[in-house]
Structure 1
Amino acid sequence: MSDTVANWTPGDDAMVENAIRHGADRRELLRMMLAGGVALSAGTAILGRAGAALAAEPVKGGHLKVAGFSASTADTLDPAKASNATDYTRCCSLYNRLTFIDGAGKVTMELADSVESTDAKTWTVRLRKGVTFHDGKSLTAKDVVFSLKRHLDPAVGSKVATLAKQFADVTAADDLTATITLAAANADLPTILALHHFMIVADGTTNFSKGNGTGAFVLKEFNPGVRSIVARNTNYWKAKGPYFDSFEYFAIGDESARLNAVLSGDIHVGANLNPRSLRIIEGNPAIAPFISKLGTYTDLNLRLDLAPGDKAGVVEGFKYLVNRQVIQKAVLRGLAEIANDQPIPSWNPYFNAELKQREFDPERAKSLFQKAGILGQEVRVVASDAASSSADYAAVLQQAAGKIGLNIVIDRVPSDGYWSNHWLKDAVGFGNINARPTPDILFSLFYQSTAPWNESRYKSEKFDAMLLEARGLLDQAKRKQIYGEMQAMVANEAGTIIPVFQSNLDGVSPKLKGLVANPLGGMMGFALPEYAWFGA
């Protein structure tokens, strides 16, 4: 596109659609696009596409086939135990949340009619009338009480138990009203309730194999590690959707095979493609790119309780040895934003813009490694296609390390079973973290001392105390100050290295309509099957 600046991507069409939905006029839209580096002629074309997309009438029918990038026998239909895109996608099709985050990042109501509080500590949740589970049971406040309280039971093994500890009590005031009392004030509660793990399940559920929810689809088949098939919920409570008759989800671990499956028409969505595939996709009529600018990242983790990360200076040395520009431009083909080893992206209102960007400095890394006594030693780095682009990241790191005398050996393991067998366990390895909408959620899940996904085993009493303090503040300036200091602590003290924030690339069939990027992840925040449709 000769008349556009390279930083505008096809996924930004969704941003324009969101702005139109929220009342922006043509002048405001053109001003927004010019600020993003789009020439007037290109902006007019984008407006035309967005207008056509919004004017398109959804069409019912068809069997949607989606391939993700990983699967294992640990796949689950229990929202509390969901831990990756595979689980989130299935749960989004079967269940609903009390609240929902739309494509513009705005919290909207889903099963709740309202979530209100006067002090950010005691919250009243009023439920929609007439909602039923797949088995015919009516939704009541008892289901909300059960769904939220079960995250506090250690036997459940909830992945958001740390977040749920805020729930001092959850009670049913009447059939359609629940009261959530927090241990301390948290203005972010409506956003927290929109996370995938807080899906509402039926009171007393212990067997999740049937996927009995209030969601858009009803479970027909679930074979962990293989595939799932769901069919349209004909009694769905929403006035619109879903539009597909059925939806099939499975994994194709090899990225090239996943791409080729879309190109051949065998599947309609190939999720989480490598940015290098963009060159194949662009201009090919058999496939279209669906790009979502998120806070998603692949991070290199050195456990601080295992060698070599337990030696002073080693983690800092690795942070100087990562060539972020090469990863951004060569590995990710520009579909990324330079990051600084902390998880809050620049578009977040709490981003610390004053934190000095760490530069690529191999000589400084060499000095630190010499003091730690690891030069000349072999350092095993575990990578996998399950952690997006991690093998390429590792190759960039290996090349830089070789020039200063550090012997990095890349152990590339299969996607199947990576999250259960390697993540959080290996001394040096990669994670792949989906976007989260608030600093509190990111810090609570990944950096608090007791966090279930504390990838580097970072522990700081000061950090934990600051997390609790910021959570209860209604003074946004003070809150931003505390979150800024916490970002600096993570960047300088934790064993996580976040080189860039990645834009998510899904390869989709041109037949698919209604696609809008969502801040909770690729594939419309993993809810694509409910909201998309096949064009006529």
Structure 2
Amino acid sequence: MNNDDVKRVDSGRRDMMRHLLGAAVLVGGGGTSYLVQAATTPTARRGGSIRAAYDSSSTADTLDPAKGSAGGDYIRAYMFYSGLTQLDSALAPTMNLAESIVSSDAKVWTITLRKGVTFHDGKSLTTADVIYSLLRHKDPKVASKIMTLAEQFTDAKAIGPNQIELTLANANADLPVLLADSHLVIVKDQTTDFSTAIGTGPYKLKTFQPGVLTAGIRNEQYFKPGLPHLDQVELVGIADGAARVNALLAGDVQLVNAVNPRSTKQVSSASGFAIMETKSGLYSDLIMRVDDPLTGNRDFVQGMKYLFDRTQIRDAVFGGYAVVGNDQPLPPMHRYYNAEVKPLPFDLDKAKFHFKNAGVLGKSTPPVFATTAANGSQEMAVFLQQAAARVGVQIPINRVPADGYWSNYWMRRPLSFGNINPRPSADVLFSQFFASKAPWNESGWNNPKFDQLLLAARAETDEAKRKQMYGDMQQIISTEGSIGIPAFVSFLDGYDKRIQGLKSIPTGPMMGFNFAEYVWWNA
């Protein structure tokens, strides 16, 4: 995406949100262009099966949308369930199960449901299903990954046969964007057993073996005419990057994510295969837990940030398929990006100064845990280790398997790496990973000023004021946060060219986790 593309996306989104608040309506008919056009081109074919391999899978894989914590979970959510809205390639919301979403103040919203939609078991979609699906995230017993986001849902009630009035604690102009999140797809009223994944999505569950295999067959009663195209989609977990590429080139799978930049030529030079790059806000971050005496020391954190040779990481680790990061989570192409927040330079003298203040010179830090599941983390760990040694600090590296990394090591050790997919809005990203009570507050930091700005920005409908607030929040994270983000990485998917209809959506790999609904097999 070049600068002109970014300007067009930002301008279009501002116009859309201005229309949303000024005319008090978001209409579905005009907002389906990208995905529907991608799916209904005359060359689309019906039938066939494909197998996709994803890099993150474990026994913690889930069919409960509320508990999804990895990309494979998000793919399953969109395969078997449907959300009220979807995001297009410009990250603008389009209507899905909702026919329209209306508000005059961005606080009280009227959601009108599409008629004639049925669940996989034949039950009709009702307002009760939507109300339950939204409010269940507020229940601590559910342990939803978006519980902090759902706290803004203060009330939801039916006001007609197919209409819900959703009241928020504060105004949120991005509600239609939020409702596209995979955690907020719609489930049946009162569902507590998700082993059968009864939803309204494009596929019905055939097989689910956590950490091994997910298979879905086409939902013949799907509410979108002509979709999906495929008879069956299988999703398998292959943690090792080289093994994924080998499986692709051998024909065992037809689509893989997280191709190592060093493997892109191997794929693109092979007959019948290609690479799709999606520029994004994906990042692998160094996490320094604040609850450890050393990694919670501000001088130690600052010293570690000065050890990042960000240009080297961009070029050597990610093969140029990245842009330099500045220790906060919004990428340069984001409409709220604060260009005044500059990345720290690679500076060994300053790193040594801060390490001396932290009392770690001549000593060893806790080990840093790295894994292939966190893109580029093992290579970055080596660069940090080598740089630290030059100033008299030893950083041991523990390389651990991808399988089980997120359950056993991520956020559980003083030093580890995360791997964070883009979120549909700044509010969602900040709420899930940086709010004090966020379930994925990776470093465990607590910043009251940040929390206050988060709530204020969510309610602010003046675009200029909102941008200023988000800019201030980026500055706080960059200078006071306990994570290091050296680069924003493009998604690299490898695919068999017989897969058609595959497009870039910057919320994630594999068409923003939505590939199953739209691609077809052209064999």
Task: Give secondary structure in 2 for the equivalent of 1:242.
Answer: coil
Residue among 416, 419, 426 paired with 2:406: 419
Task: Give secondary structure in 1 for the equivalent of 2:517.
Answer: helix
Aligned to 1:378: 364
Percent identity among equivalent residues? Answer: 48
Residue among 145, 170, 188 paired with 1:184: 170
Deviation at 1:52, TM superposition (A): 11
Task: Give secondary structure in 1 for the equivalent of 2:306.
Answer: helix
Alpha-carbon separation, structure 2, partners of 1:110 and 1:376: 58
Aligned to 2:460: 473
Alignment of 1:24-35 (within 5 A): none
The TM-score normalised by the length of structure 2 is 0.92
- Does the 8 Å CA contact 2:327/2:343 hold for their aligned counterparts? no
Deviation at 1:307, TM superposition (A): 3.4
Task: Give secondary structure in 1 for the equivalent of 2:395.
Answer: strand
- CA 460–52 in structure 1, closer or farther in 2 if over 3 Å, else same: closer
1:146 counterpart = 2:132: yes
1:99 counterpart = 2:91: no
Aligned to 1:522: 509
Give a deviation string over 1:391-429, Cα, whole Å, max 9, x none.
Answer: 111111112112111111110111111111111111100
Aligned to 1:48: none
Aligned to 1:511: 498
Aligned to 2:203: 217
Amino acid across the alignment from 1:393: M
Alignment of 1:17-416 (within 5 A): 57-379=43-365, 380-416=367-403
- Does the 8 Å CA contact 2:285/2:485 hold for their aligned counterparts? yes
Amino acid across the alignment from 1:158: S
Alpha-carbon separation, structure 2, partners of 1:382 and 1:56: 49
- CA 55–216 in structure 1, closer or farther in 2 if over 3 Å, else same: closer
Alpha-carbon separation, structure 2, partners of 1:54 and 1:314: 54
- Does the 8 Å CA contact 1:313/1:369 hold for their aligned counterparts? yes
Deviation at 1:255, TM superposition (A): 0.7
Amino acid across the alignment from 2:179: L
Amino acid across the alignment from 1:106: A
Alpha-carbon separation, structure 2, partners of 1:218 and 1:148: 22
Task: Give secondary structure in 1 for the equivalent of 2:419.
Answer: strand
Task: Give secondary structure in 2 for the equivalent of 1:66.
Answer: strand
Amino acid across the alignment from 2:197: G
Alpha-carbon separation, structure 2, partners of 1:175 and 1:499: 51
- Does the 8 Å CA contact 2:501/2:518 hold for their aligned counterparts? yes
- Does the 8 Å CA contact 1:64/1:529 hold for their aligned counterparts? no
Amino acid across the alignment from 2:81: Y
Give a deviation string over 1:20-63, Cα, whole Å, max 9, x none.
Answer: xx9xxxxxxxxxxxxxxxxxxxxxxxxxxxx9999551101111
Task: Give secondary structure in 1 for the equivalent of 2:396.
Answer: strand
Deviation at 1:252, TM superposition (A): 0.8
Moved more, 74-83 or 273-282: 273-282
- Does the 8 Å CA contact 2:49/2:521 hold for their aligned counterparts? no
The TM-score normalised by the length of structure 1 is 0.90
Deviation at 1:283, TM superposition (A): 2.3
Aligned to 1:428: 415
Residue among 469, 476, 483 paired with 1:489: 476
Alpha-carbon separation, structure 2, partners of 1:245 and 1:168: 41
Structure 2: runs of 5 or more not aligned: 13-36
Give a deviation string over 1:283-315, Cα, whole Å, max 9, x none.
Answer: 221421011111111111000111321223000
Task: Give secondary structure in 2 for the equivalent of 1:313.
Answer: helix
Alpha-carbon separation, structure 2, partners of 1:378 and 1:174: 64
Alpha-carbon separation, structure 2, partners of 1:489 and 1:363: 24
Deviation at 1:174, TM superposition (A): 2.2
Alpha-carbon separation, structure 1, partners of 2:239 and 2:38: 35
Alpha-carbon separation, structure 2, partners of 1:60 and 1:521: 25
Deviation at 1:431, TM superposition (A): 0.6
Alpha-carbon separation, structure 1, partners of 2:497 and 2:364: 47
Aligned to 1:31: none
Give a deviation string over 1:436-458, Cα, whole Å, max 9, x none.
Answer: 12211111111111111000111
Structure 1: runs of 5 or more not aligned: 1-6, 23-50
Task: Give secondary structure in 1 for the equivalent of 2:294.
Answer: coil
Deviation at 1:158, TM superposition (A): 0.3
Alpha-carbon separation, structure 2, partners of 1:327 and 1:279: 19
Moved more, 298-307 or 76-85: 298-307
Task: Give secondary structure in 2 for the equivalent of 1:162.
Answer: helix
Moved more, 272-281 or 140-149: 272-281
Aligned to 2:428: 441
Aligned-residue RMSD, C-alpha: 1.9
